[in-house]
Amino acid sequence: MSGEYRNAFDSSISDREGFWLEAAGGIDWTTPPTSAFTGGRWFADGELNTCVNALDRHVDAGHGDRTALIYDSAMLGTVRSFTYSDLLDEVALFAGVLVKNGVNVGDRVVLYLPMIPEAVVAMLACVRIGAVHSVVFGGFAAKELAARIDDAEPTLLVTASGGFEPGKVIEYLPIVEKALALTRAPKPTVIVRAREGITNEHSWLDWDEQLVDAVAAEPVSVRATDPLYILYTSGTTGKPKGVVRDNGGHAVALMWSMHNIYDVGEGQVMWTASDVGWVVGHSYIVYGPLLAGATTVLYEGKPVGTPDAGAFWRVIQDHGVRALFTAPTALRAIRKVDPHASELEKYDLSSLATVFVAGERLDPDTYEWVSRTLDRPVVDHWWQTETGWAICANLRGLEPLPIKSGSPTVAVPGFQVGILDARGAEVDAGTEGNIVVKLPLPPGTLVGLWNDEDRFRRSYLDTFPGYYLTGDSGYIDADGYVYVLGRSDDVINVAGHRLSTGSMEAVVASHPAVAECAVIGIHDDLKGQRPSGYVVLKAGETISEDQLRTELVAMVRDQIGALATFRDVTIVGALPKTRSGKILRKTMRQIVAGEEYGVPSTIEDPAVLDALEKLLRR
Ligand code: COA
Ligand code: AMP
């Protein structure tokens, strides 16, 4: 590697100031930063408004008639387009609604919304007035919503009367009601967006009524280091981590990524088939494409069944999509239903340049199928809620590199990726270890965890001083290509959704018949991973495995959400543990996966042996 990529990477490290200040030139500042990185913060003396960068500046440049957002609902069979001027008007007006309901600079606003344009409008409205949004994925149950409300302590909560899932309606208001009843935080004002066919009989404020006498709000300039949003993600315990993103670094990084990674610019169409409740949705349904003056597609639907396995190809054709960003699990779902891609014949995909995937490793089998089927570059790239944008990618706009199946290619400029062994020593090329990023992290990455500096340090910084711990393990080959093999902790990825086995264990352990339990991630052909629960009953309990499974599945759905896809329950005599009582989840994972594992010294206990055999027999 000696071309554009190498030059950019090297100067992002050796000339950090020059490189990132130049990147900062892609953003409109009310006060331009004089330095890139000082005192541990990016663009510390700069001031800007991120909403102005996403909307106003394109309108001011004469591009108000360009399409900003296309809402395509496969659930309702409708399509609605918003020009940059339309979206700016809606955002400024809703920002006025926030102001008149007492939302001030720095206040938090929780958004619990399905994939509707109002989700984008509400996010940008918060940003316009310097408030901090925290979007909660609409598939999370009341308890998860409550945990986020308690941590963020919002002044206001915006929700909808419901969402549509294939074959069923999800009523949001009973969930919000239950969540608020569970919270200790002061009760926020609630605004509800009524949805067609889903009743809204609550006395909470109505979105449309609120707009009637609202006055469009002017943008508020904030410091680059001020928080833009909090996004909760699963850690290894049941308590979600509130990842905090700042304004300046985020805008600079995402703007840079649009051209250099995705090769999408003004007037071109990007479709990220995710959900605004996940980081991928934040960065590439909302902020990235709008900062770049591109068109973003907001798709309410599934890859299959809405109505068929040609849904993705239809959206690409109808909206002239240039870059598709999806999760491998969605592509596996399409392949499962339509293995010969016969649906493809019905559509014209000539606009499509590149397919990007993330959320989980792109397995070589799926990679082969998709690249053969679509005859386009299929680019795996690796990132996390914490980083906000790709750590490793094939930078299609900067310099496309050869694709190696199974690898998300190389470190993105700014990310000094390395592999350390358990003692913190660097390992040789090809040797597996902990994937770390040398500090400082580039702009756009997390600046901390909301209200929890201590957990931030413990989770990411303390294990290997001077490095950010990604929680993933993998290796780097002799060409500098990174291979991400999986998490080295108790976080699992189910259908591209990041979940904590710890939070599922907390639910399972609360069942009256359960003495102790372990939930581990096991391989799933469609969803990548799924949770599998192993339970030890209290002495004298006689509940059958089937009955226990039925009850536990219902409890996890009720307390975490259906998206956990918790279905496997096995009763075991005991769990394998260390002498100090720590459950050997890694050993369990290895046994279930048929991998080699070290035999712990406690193995002589017959109950443990029985448990392990039971695991092995599955
Ligand atoms: N609101 C409420 N419930 C939701 C939901 C939401 N937003 N999203 C999912 N659920 C529910 C589903 O209705 C389903 O409930 P059920 O068990 O009662 O049927 C459950 O959660 C699991 O849903 P899902 O993960 O969608 O599984 P599926 O088997 O219906 O579909 C896929 C499988 C692969 C098609 C689907 O998981 C998918 O599209 N994944 C891609 C995810 C993605 O793009 N992630 C990107 C993150 S980067
Ligand atoms: P999330 O924070 O939900 O984006 O999940 C981040 C985690 O998903 C990472 O730590 C990885 O374990 C996994 N992940 C995301 N993208 C990839 C990828 N391209 N390859 C391998 N793992 C990935």
User: The domain spanning residue 554 has which CATH number?
Assistant: 3.30.300.30
- Span 323-332, average pLDDT: 97
pLDDT band at 581 (very low <50, low <70, confident <90, very high): confident
pLDDT > 80? residue 437: yes
- Span 371-384, average pLDDT: 98
pLDDT > 90? residue 332: yes
**H or E element that contains 10:** helix 4-14
Ordered DSSP codes for 87-129:
HHHHHHHHHHHHHHTT--TT-EEEEE--SSHHHHHHHHHHHHT
Among all bound ligands, the one having the nearest atom to the CA of 499 is 2
- Span 540-554, average pLDDT: 96
pLDDT band at 559 (very low <50, low <70, confident <90, very high): very high
CA of 527 to the centre of ligand 1 (A): 10
pLDDT band at 36 (very low <50, low <70, confident <90, very high): very high
Among all bound ligands, the one having the nearest atom to the CA of 357 is 2
Q: Within this chain, do residues 147 and 46 fall inside the same structural domain, yes or no?
A: yes
Residue 600 pLDDT: 63
Residue 339 located in a structural domain? no
Residue 289 located in a structural domain? yes
Task: Assess contact for 381 and 408: CB atoms under 8 A.
Answer: yes
What's the CATH number where 97 sits? 3.40.50.12780
pLDDT band at 505 (very low <50, low <70, confident <90, very high): very high
CA of 311 to the centre of ligand 1 (A): 15
pLDDT > 70? residue 616: no
Contacts of residue 10, defined as CB under 8 A and 6 or more positions apart, other chains included, come to: none
- Span 114-138, average pLDDT: 98
CA of 117 to the centre of ligand 2 (A): 26
Residue 23 pLDDT: 98
Q: How many domains does the chain have?
A: 2
Among all bound ligands, the one having the nearest atom to the CA of 166 is 1
**H or E element that contains 483:** strand 482-487
Share of the chain above pLDDT 90, in %: 88
Q: Within this chain, do residues 143 and 16 fall inside the same structural domain, yes or no?
A: yes
pLDDT band at 6 (very low <50, low <70, confident <90, very high): very high
Separation of CA 313 from chain center:
23
Task: Report in angstroms the alpha-carbon separations of 191 from 91, 112, 209, 371.
Answer: 15, 10, 10, 44
Q: Is 329 in the pocket of ligand 1 (CB under 6 A)?
A: yes
Task: Assess contact for 106 and 117: CB atoms under 8 A.
Answer: no
pLDDT > 90? residue 456: yes
Q: Within this chain, do residues 419 and 567 fall inside the same structural domain, yes or no?
A: no
Residue 361 located in a structural domain? no
pLDDT band at 202 (very low <50, low <70, confident <90, very high): confident
Among all bound ligands, the one having the nearest atom to the CA of 378 is 2
The β-bridge relationship of strands 323-326 and 269-272 is parallel
CA of 496 to the centre of ligand 2 (A): 8
pLDDT tens-digit series, residues 97-111:
999 999 999 999 999
Tokens of 443: 């702009």
CA of 291 to the centre of ligand 2 (A): 24
pLDDT band at 1 (very low <50, low <70, confident <90, very high): low
CA of 563 to the centre of ligand 1 (A): 6
Q: Is 333 in the pocket of ligand 1 (CB under 6 A)?
A: yes
Residue 595 pLDDT: 80
Residue 337 located in a structural domain? no
Q: Is 328 in the pocket of ligand 1 (CB under 6 A)?
A: no
Of 441, 471, 501, which marks where a domain is finished?
471
Q: Is 524 in the pocket of ligand 1 (CB under 6 A)?
A: no
Name which residue sits closest to atom 19 of ligand 2, judged by CA: 382
pLDDT band at 53 (very low <50, low <70, confident <90, very high): very high
Q: How far apart are the first and last CA of the chain?
A: 46
Q: Within this chain, do residues 464 and 501 fall inside the same structural domain, yes or no?
A: no
Residue 367 located in a structural domain? no
What phi and psi values does residue 269 have, to the nearest 5 degrees? -110, 125
Name which residue sits closest to atom 22 of ligand 1, judged by CA: 563
Q: Is 337 in the pocket of ligand 1 (CB under 6 A)?
A: no
Q: Within this chain, do residues 267 and 388 fall inside the same structural domain, yes or no?
A: yes
- Span 117-122, average pLDDT: 98
* Residue given tokens 């993105």 in the structure block: 412
Of 412, 443, 471, which marks where a domain is finished?
471
Among all bound ligands, the one having the nearest atom to the CA of 485 is 2
Residue 615 pLDDT: 67
Q: Which residues line ligand 2 (CB under 6 A)?
A: 233, 279, 358-361, 380-385, 408, 471-472, 484, 487, 493, 498
Q: Within this chain, do residues 463 and 567 fall inside the same structural domain, yes or no?
A: no
Q: Is 274 in the pocket of ligand 1 (CB under 6 A)?
A: yes
Residue 291 pLDDT: 99
pLDDT > 80? residue 191: yes
pLDDT > 80? residue 85: yes
Separation of CA 320 from chain center:
25
pLDDT tens-digit series, residues 477-486:
999 999 999 8
Ordered DSSP codes for 187-237:
PPEEEEE-BTTB---SSSEEHHHHHHT--PPPP--EETTSEEEEEEE--SS
pLDDT > 70? residue 443: yes
CA of 142 to the centre of ligand 2 (A): 25
Mean pLDDT highest for which of 189-203, 305-319, 596-610? 305-319
Residue 415 pLDDT: 98
pLDDT > 70? residue 380: yes
pLDDT tens-digit series, residues 150-189:
999 999 999 999 999 999 999 999 999 999 999 999 999 9
Residue 311 located in a structural domain? no
Residue 92 located in a structural domain? yes
CA of 612 to the centre of ligand 1 (A): 32
Closest to 30 in 3D by CA, of 223, 203, 226, 213: 223
pLDDT > 70? residue 550: yes
CA of 241 to the centre of ligand 1 (A): 22
Q: Within this chain, do residues 505 and 446 fall inside the same structural domain, yes or no?
A: no
CA of 273 to the centre of ligand 1 (A): 12
Nearest atom of ligand 1 to the alpha carbon of 563: 21
CA of 368 to the centre of ligand 1 (A): 24
Residue 522 pLDDT: 92
pLDDT > 90? residue 588: no
Among all bound ligands, the one having the nearest atom to the CA of 385 is 2
Mean pLDDT highest for which of 339-348, 496-505, 579-588? 339-348
- Span 28-41, average pLDDT: 97
Residue 273 located in a structural domain? yes
Residue 163 pLDDT: 96
Among all bound ligands, the one having the nearest atom to the CA of 234 is 2
Task: Assess contact for 228 and 236: CB atoms under 8 A.
Answer: no
pLDDT tens-digit series, residues 236-289:
777 899 999 999 999 999 999 999 999 999 999 999 999 999 999 999 999 999
Nearest atom of ligand 2 to the alpha carbon of 485: 21
Q: Within this chain, do residues 424 and 553 fall inside the same structural domain, yes or no?
A: no
Bridge-partner residues for 71, per DSSP? Answer: 80, 298
Share of the chain above pLDDT 70, in %: 97
Q: Within this chain, do residues 16 and 125 fall inside the same structural domain, yes or no?
A: yes
pLDDT > 70? residue 95: yes
Q: Within this chain, do residues 149 and 20 fall inside the same structural domain, yes or no?
A: yes
- Report the amino acid identity of residue 385: T
Q: Is 563 in the pocket of ligand 1 (CB under 6 A)?
A: yes
Name which residue sits closest to atom 37 of ligand 1, judged by CA: 495
Q: Within this chain, do residues 148 and 214 fall inside the same structural domain, yes or no?
A: yes
CA of 171 to the centre of ligand 2 (A): 30
* Mean pLDDT for the chain overall: 95
pLDDT tens-digit series, residues 602-611:
565 667 767 7
Handedness of CA 321, 323, 326, 332 (dihedral sign): positive
For 580, the domain range is: 491-616
Q: Within this chain, do residues 176 and 295 fall inside the same structural domain, yes or no?
A: yes
Residue 613 pLDDT: 67
* Residue given tokens 């999509």 in the structure block: 321
Of 442, 471, 500, which marks where a domain is finished?
471
pLDDT > 90? residue 548: yes
